[in-house]
């Protein structure tokens, strides 16, 4: 209605005789609106007005109904901000003790002595980021399938979300597939009236790989760049919200295959006569192929549908370089980094840029293809900066329930300075995800 509204303002609704028909329609609309507002019940008036307005808008608006760019929907850059201490946070969002998540992430139960990591709140620079309301979230995604695809950081986020939602509705574990590496494919279903499914798909490189990602005893891996992994690549059409989080497995020694041929290596001095092509270009190629596959699978699905694809930027580890990885102080800080300390590492900045650029390209291509309101929406879940600032949010040596209740932490110990305590920082990722879903539902 934008151009038509301006025309009415400039010239009046009935400035030319040839517009008599338009004037009649305008008058009919106005009289109907007045009647509905003043003589109908409040609830029926609002509904009728909404229907009438939609009909009028359909008749008067241009044929191109494509959605505005995603950046305009969000109205806020949640990736830019700072961590602020919040005394109003009196405890964890949920009780992880009885939650269906990897036990090493249950920092409260495992005895992590400092609880300050629970009280820091992310404050975006230009707006506020409210905490996810589990009851409202379940209503928002009623009947939908949320899929978390990628490495263990994707699983970390999915399990935190399931635990948070479990405070208002009890899910059923529809499928669990555990192997030696653990928790590769899980699915939870929140039954009626929610009918919400949350799945995790273990695929650390998004494409097929053999070697280290399947067997930690192996130092290298073989990566097949033109073969996306199953089952996630097959299930795409049935997913309504996809969170793709992969990155940590790419900067590892590898040999890359395409069309059955070796196309290069990364950090493999033991392999002669093969060009070291680095991992960054490979990462870009995999992200691009992943998003192209999602777009193609969505457009070819029967009935189409509305799909949100959120690609997370890398959330870095915090192994302190002053110590070995298995030293008890490898990640022992108890507060976020100060602004001057929180410099994003060059490797992480490069991988973040790849995601931002590829998501922007996929979003632009989707906008060009879109012919109706429904379609696939690509967004970047940009968490790199906020995660870089939080060395205090990892489990560290507190990997098992009450491990050190009766004894001090030994100097040499297994450490987790990569994954996030839950509850903790990882819940902020889901706060951002909820905003993205709401933005697309409007």
| Positions marked catalytic | 152, 416, 419
CA torsion angle for 75, 381, 228, 211 (degrees, to 10)? 170
**Composition of the chain by helix, strand, coil, percent to 5:** 35, 20, 45
Local structure of 216: helix, strand or coil: coil
Q: What stretch of H or E contains 196? A: strand 196-202
Cβ neighbour number for residue 257 with a 10 Å cutoff? 20
Q: How far is it, in rounded angstroms, from Cα 186 to Cα 196? A: 14
What is the DSSP-derived secondary structure letter of residue 198? Answer: E
Task: Locate all alpha helices (DSSP H) within 253-412, ordered by sequence.
Answer: 280-300, 346-369, 384-388
Q: At what angle do helices 426-441 and 152-165 cross, to 10 degrees?
A: 70
Q: How far is it, in rounded angstroms, from Cα 191 to Cα 172? A: 7
Task: Locate all alpha helices (DSSP H) within 321-397, ordered by sequence.
Answer: 346-369, 384-388
Check if the beta carbon of residue 102 is closer than 8 Å to that of residue 160. Answer: no
φ/ψ (deg, to 5) at 324:
-70, 160
Q: How far is it, in rounded angstroms, from Cα 222 to Cα 268? A: 11
Q: How far is it, in rounded angstroms, from Cα 394 to Cα 185? A: 23
Q: What stretch of H or E contains 316? A: none
Full 3-state SS string of 107-137: HHHHCCCCCHHHCEEEEECCCCCCCCCHHHH
Q: How far is it, in rounded angstroms, from Cα 165 to Cα 133? A: 8
In sequence order, the β-bridge partners of residue 310 are: 243, 379
Cis amide leading into 157 (omega within 30): no
DSSP string, 69-107: PHHHHH-S-TTSEEEEE-TT--S-SS--TTSSS-GGG-H
């Amino acid at each position: 209605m934008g151009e038509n509204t301006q025309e009415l303002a400039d010239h009046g609704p009935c400035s030319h005789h040839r517009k008599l028909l338009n004037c009649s329609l305008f008058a009919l609309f106005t009289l109907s609106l007045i009647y509905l507002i003043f003589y109908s019940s409040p609830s029926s008036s609002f509904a009728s007005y909404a229907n009438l307005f939609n009909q009028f808008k359909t008749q008067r608006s241009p044929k191109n109904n494509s959605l505005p760019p995603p950046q305009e929907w969000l109205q806020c850059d949640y990736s830019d901000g700072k961590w602020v201490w919040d005394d109003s946070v009196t405890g964890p969002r949920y009780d992880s003790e009885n939650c269906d998540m990897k036990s090493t992430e249950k920092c409260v139960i495992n005895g992590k002595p400092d609880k300050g990591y629970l009280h820091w709140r992310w404050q975006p620079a230009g707006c506020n980021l409210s905490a996810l309301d589990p009851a409202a979230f379940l209503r928002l995604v009623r009947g939908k399938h949320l899929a978390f695809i990628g490495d263990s950081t994707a699983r970390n986020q999915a399990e935190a979300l399931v635990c948070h939602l479990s405070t208002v509705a009890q899910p059923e574990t529809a499928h669990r597939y555990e192997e030696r590496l653990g928790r590769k494919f899980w699915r939870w279903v929140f039954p009626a009236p929610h009918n919400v499914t949350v799945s995790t798909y273990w695929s650390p490189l998004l494409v097929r790989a053999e070697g280290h990602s399947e067997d930690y005893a192996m130092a290298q891996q073989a990566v097949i760049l033109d073969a996306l992994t199953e089952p996630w690549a097959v299930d795409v059409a049935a997913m309504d919200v996809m969170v793709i989080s992969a990155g940590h497995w790419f900067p590892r020694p590898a040999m890359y295959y395409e069309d059955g041929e070796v196309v290069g290596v990364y950090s493999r001095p033991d392999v002669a006569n093969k060009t070291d092509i680095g991992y960054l270009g490979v990462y870009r190629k995999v992200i691009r192929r992943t998003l192209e596959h999602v777009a193609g699978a969505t457009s070819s699905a029967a009935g189409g549908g509305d799909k949100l694809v959120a690609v997370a930027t890398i959330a870095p580890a915090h192994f302190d370089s002053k110590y070995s990885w298995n030293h008890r102080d490898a990640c022992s800080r108890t507060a976020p980094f100060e602004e001057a300390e929180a410099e994003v590492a060059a490797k992480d900045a490069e991988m973040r840029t790849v995601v931002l650029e590829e998501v922007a390209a996929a979003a632009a291509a989707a906008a060009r293809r879109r012919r109706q309101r429904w379609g696939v929406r690509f967004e970047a879940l940009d968490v790199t900066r906020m995660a870089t600032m939080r060395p205090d949010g990892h489990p560290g040596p507190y990997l098992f329930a009450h491990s050190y209740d009766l004894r001090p932490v030994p100097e040499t110990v297994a450490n987790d300075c990569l994954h996030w305590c839950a509850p903790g920082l990882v819940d902020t990722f889901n706060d951002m995800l909820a905003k993205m879903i709401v933005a697309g539902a409007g």
